[in-house]
Amino acid sequence: HRLKRRWNRAKRPPHWLVLLSVTLVLIYLYQLSSRRGHASNSSPAGRPFSGRLDNFSMEIFAAPKPFQGEDTVRNYRAIRSWLRLEPRPKVTLLGNETGYMEAASRLNLSVETKVDKSFLNGLLFNSMIVRVNESTATVCVLVDGDSILTSNFPRSLKRIAAQFKDFLVVSTGIDLDE
């Protein structure tokens, strides 16, 4: 019995951790409710930044793998899914990998070659973000080069852009190969 009690006690989190977690959740809920109250006062629809949707534009940035072998098919499939979105986004490839210029001319894309690289020849994330921040689009998206975006993607971004002045959305994809 004594061993069983110790084992059960070890499974339970300490009381202070439970109290801290509950406190953080309550603080979050309070801030969320006060933010909603503020938003509904500033706009009849409760969307304080809905004015930016009048001229909504989107620019997609990506640094796909070089257009070689199977990666060529994956890259083109993903880029074509981006170009089918409404409103049609501007697409910019970051870096100067094999096939970027050809893809840009075939699909009317932009290529930003002024992106710093590490000593291992990988693009530096902070340099990519600097290029993204130079965009004049309402919403900038940095995606994995082989990610397929569906038609509801712009609608989701518009809802977020109408609700928040500044935001960062992080997502994970579903691997359809498995």
pLDDT, tens digit, 9 for 90 and up, residues 108-161: 999 999 999 999 988 998 899 899 889 999 899 999 998 999 999 999 998 888
Put simply, whether the predicted model's pTM sits higher than 0.85 gets the answer no
| HEC letters along 103-147 | HHHHHCCEEECCCCECCCCCECHHHHHHHHHCCCCCEEEEECCCC
Asked if the structure places residue 101 within a domain, the reply is yes
**146 and 98 both lie in a single domain:** yes
Tokens 């977690």, located at residue: 21
Contact 13, 19 (CB under 8 A): no
CA 105 – CA 95 distance, rounded (Å) = 15
Cα-trace Rg, the chain: 22
Same domain, 149 and 65: yes
Same domain, 8 and 85: no
Q: Could you tell me if 70 and 119 lie in one domain?
A: yes
- Residue 132 in any domain: the answer is yes
Residues 141 and 81 in one domain: yes
Q: Where are the alpha helices (DSSP H) in the chain?
A: 2-11, 15-42, 70-83, 100-107, 125-133, 153-163
**Per the structure, how many domains does the chain have?**
2
Each residue of 23-69: pLDDT tens digit?
Answer: 666 666 666 665 554 444 445 456 666 677 788 899 999 999 999 99
Q: What is the mean pLDDT of residues 2-16?
A: 56
What pLDDT sits at residue 47?
66
Which range marks the domain in which residue 29 is found?
A: 2-42
Residue 178 lies in a domain: no
Higher-confidence position of 177 and 161: 161
Q: Please indicate, yes or no, if residue 23 is contained in any of the structural domains.
A: yes
Q: Mean pLDDT, to the nearest integer, of 81-98? A: 95
CATH of the domain at 103: 3.90.550.10
In a domain, 99, yes or no: yes
